[in-house]
Chains A and B, each alone.
Chain A
Amino acid sequence: MAKGKRQSSNDGQVSGADQFIPRIDTEVAGVRFQNPVWTASGTFGYGKEFSHLIDLNELGAIVVKGISPEPMEGNPSPRIYETESGMLNAIGLQNVGARRFLTEKLPFLRTLRAQCIVNVFAYSTEDYVRCLEILNEGEGIAAYELNISCPNTRCGGIVYGSDPKLTEEVVAASKKAARYPLFVKLSPNVTDITVFARAAEAAGADALSLVNTLVGMAIDIETRRPRLWNVTGGLSGPSIKPVALRMVYQAARAVRIPIVGLGGISTTEDALEFFIAGARAVQVGTANFYDPGTSVRLVQGLRDYCQKKRLHLSQIIGSLEVPERPTPMGSGN
């Protein structure tokens, strides 16, 4: 296991042609991250589960499994189903609850160089606020990521994430309650992502994470039953990357606050596409399941790309050049 081989933050000066050392650290909502490669909520547990396999100190941040004010038991099995280049899940946000997170999980996370971002989930605005108030007692949290977009809980987050008025309401109330910067994780299951990006920004979000999973389903043709107990589930993995990338691109043009991109990222090239589209950081999700080394490999891959191109990360972010066209945003049939 590599042991913090290289410090990612360095002076980054261009001091002679062969001495170029790229800077890949990034800042989101006033928080500095040693690099822009994070692990996505629900795919990395509480970090410790991966400590035997990778050097957690190499990561920019760990976004922990969605935390609710009370512990949640989750959905019955089957909860997951593999699809072409992806997977469906309907876990139902099983988690230890805010209090146990603070006492059992946070102390370990605090010891890491990777920042800790806490994904927060609840069923009502009051409960979002209550959850944040409990978590506010914790030290060493870099930011909150408000999950208003989980597709797998009854009358849950998706309601907030698919109604701009409710998005504004829950974000405004949460922002008021939050002691740490507030990221809002948006749902891709909407017609126009920019409406929700603007709503969250207007309500005080410090940054946006997008996207959560796409609602999908699969059917067993022998039994003619759904493959998932929950009937529908969230689709993730490489198959959703083009959709996620398009939404990051659109949102980045619609708002001023930073965007954190995720959705099917499994290679350095994937991550770079998101940076070029305007993401200030990226999260690796489903790839953690089948290849736990992905995120650490991406950090190195990003460094290598920057070195080769003689660019700092900041010069890549939002550097997309769209050639002028008569119809600039065609649907591309």
Chain B
Amino acid sequence: MFDEIVAVTGNRHLGGSHFLLSVESPRQAQAARPGQFAMLRILGRSDVLLRRPMSIYNLKAKNSGGKNDPNPAAPQILEFLYKVVGHGTRLMSTLKRGDQIGLLGPLGHGFFEEDYLPQAHQANEILHVAGGIGIAALLLPAKRLAEAGFRQRLFFGGRSKADLVGVEDFRPLVRGMLMATEDGSAGYRGFVTRPLEEYLERHTNQKYLLMVCGPWAMLRACVELAKKYGHPCLVSMENRMGCGLGVCLGCCIRVQGSGHEAYQRVCTEGPVFWAEKIVWDAADGK
């Protein structure tokens, strides 16, 4: 974990309210594991005090590594795929190449920790299920799994076609992609759970591992499907965060357990959890 002031190397508008921010931090890029996140701080503003948690979307080597670069292939750039939803992300969208931001990371418990990976090996195929900007948490795990030769498939839902960003990055990694939009502008009309359920229903003899990231209602629906068809399911959770370090306890969500174990921190025990660990009908469901 590093707390650094880093340079913005790009902030590309992808259409709609989506942007791709690139920053240079060799230390964090090389330490990052799939499913982890970083806390981004807009500097010099007293109205946006807190850092913003962002999934690490992609890692890249710097194009001009230079002759003195001892390890030119090692990643040095972190990419963050984000959607402008409020004041903080609006300010973020005005960042330009050469600007500086605060970057604290990499943080959290990603997709391939401890007991998560063996489940992947038992699966015939990994099913990534993304809701909107939730896609940002899934690219790095998909890349890593593709390198290891896993079969993968992407189910991607959004309100409309403009929400389906990052599809091209996934295309070379997966055997198939199934889209759903609420307005029917791309793929199935409706929620992403519709193509997912059809797929699970058609292949009941297969073993899958689901990796899901998106809004609460979508996560919950996917988790129910995974349970119904008997597949293990990992979810990448999000919540408002104060610190990302595990001390403010602002991001806690209700999990199975009692007493002081009843809540776990999305920033520290998460963001990736086994679906059954989460209490999905907790009063705080969004």
A contacts, CB < 8 Å to B: 42-45, 49-50, 52-53, 65, 70-74, 76-82, 84-87, 89, 91, 94-97, 229, 237-238, 286, 288-293
Contact = CB atoms under 8 A, between A and B. Distances in A.
A290 B260 contact: no
A68 to B, nearest CB: 9
A120 B248 CA distance: 17
Contacts of B252: 74, 77, 79, 91, 94
The 6 tightest CB contacts between A and B, nearest first, are A80-B250, A71-B260, A45-B247, A76-B284, A289-B243, A73-B262
A290 B49 contact: yes
B205 interface: no
B1 interface: yes
Interface in B75-126: 88, 102, 104
B260 A73 contact: yes
27 contacts: A44-B247, A49-B245, A49-B246, A50-B247, A53-B245, A71-B261, A72-B259, A73-B258, A73-B260, A73-B261, A77-B240, A77-B251, A77-B253, A79-B240, A79-B249, A82-B48, A82-B240, A85-B47, A85-B49, A86-B49, A87-B242, A89-B242, A89-B248, A94-B260, A238-B46, A238-B49, A291-B41
Contacts of A77: 239-240, 251-254, 284
Contacts of A43: 247-248
B148 interface: no
B247 A49 contact: yes
A238 B47 CA distance: 10
Given A79-B251, A89-B242, 18 more contacts: A45-B245, A49-B245, A49-B246, A53-B3, A70-B259, A71-B259, A74-B249, A77-B239, A79-B249, A80-B241, A80-B248, A85-B46, A91-B252, A288-B243, A289-B243, A289-B248, A290-B51, A291-B102
Contacts of B47: 84-85
**Which of A73, A74, A96 counts the most chain B CB atoms within 10 A?**
A73
B24 to A, nearest CB: 20
B50 interface: yes
**Which of B51, B102, B259, B260 counts the most chain A CB atoms within 10 A?**
B260
Contacts of B283: 76, 229
A67 B282 CA distance: 25
Contacts of B258: 73
B285 to A, nearest CB: 9
Contact of B49 (A74, A87, A89, A293): A87
A73 B247 CA distance: 15
B263 interface: yes
Interface string B162-204: 0000000000000000000000000000000000000000000
Interface in B31-82: 41, 46-51
B39 to A, nearest CB: 8
Given A73-B258, A74-B252, A82 B49 contact: yes
Contacts of A70: 259
Contact of A72 (B88, B242, B260): B260
Interface size class of B (residues with CB under 8 A): 35 or more
A50 B249 contact: no
Contact of B263 (A87, A94, A293): A94
B243 A76 contact: no
A49 B245 CA distance: 7
A74 B245 contact: no
A237 B49 contact: yes
Nearest to B262: A73
B98 to A, nearest CB: 22
B108 to A, nearest CB: 13
Nearest to B245: A49
A70 B3 CA distance: 34
Given A87-B50, A289-B50, A73 B259 contact: yes
B242 A74 contact: no
A72 B46 CA distance: 33
B246 A45 contact: yes
Given A72-B260, A74-B249, A292 B254 contact: no
Given A52-B1, A238-B46, A89 B250 contact: yes
A42 B248 CA distance: 6
Given A45-B245, A288-B247, A97 B260 contact: yes
Nearest to A73: B262
Given A53-B3, A82-B49, A292 B260 contact: no
Interface in B223-247: 239-243, 245-247
B105 to A, nearest CB: 12
Nearest to A227: B240
B254 A76 contact: yes
Contact of A95 (B49, B241, B260): B260
B284 A286 contact: no
A80 B240 contact: yes
A84 B246 CA distance: 23
